[in-house]
């Protein structure tokens, strides 16, 4: 998936409509760390509920995760923790 996203970016870089793959290069990459992620703390129930129930929010959020090569999300519901 990461390779496909990279190719899509490189196609956008091309200034030649006749050769859209002109910027695509053979590459071999390996991540520094196998797991790259974030922890998301949800302290405001009303605010997070508006996001939780919005499918388009999650589509955009996980698209960003894929683009930035994150592969782990820990979601912590901290409503009763008192901040």
- pLDDT (tens digit, 9 = 90+) per residue, 18-48? 999 999 989 888 888 889 999 988 888 888 8
Among candidates 80, 66, 71, which has minimal Cα distance to 9?
66
Q: In whole angstroms, what is the distance from residue 10 CA to residue 25 CA?
A: 9
- Confidence at residue 40, expressed as pLDDT on a 0 to 100 scale: 87
Position 62 scores a pLDDT of 92
pTM of the full predicted structure?
0.64
* pLDDT band for position 49 (cuts 50, 70, 90): confident
């Amino acid at each position: 998936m990461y390779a496909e996203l990279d190719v899509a970016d490189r196609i956008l870089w091309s200034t030649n409509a006749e050769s859209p793959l002109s910027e695509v290069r053979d590459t071999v990459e390996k991540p520094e760390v196998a797991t790259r992620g974030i922890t998301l703390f949800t302290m405001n129930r009303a605010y997070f509920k508006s996001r939780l129930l919005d499918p388009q929010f999650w589509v955009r959020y996980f698209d960003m995760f894929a683009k930035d090569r994150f592969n782990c999300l820990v979601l912590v519901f901290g409503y009763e923790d008192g901040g």
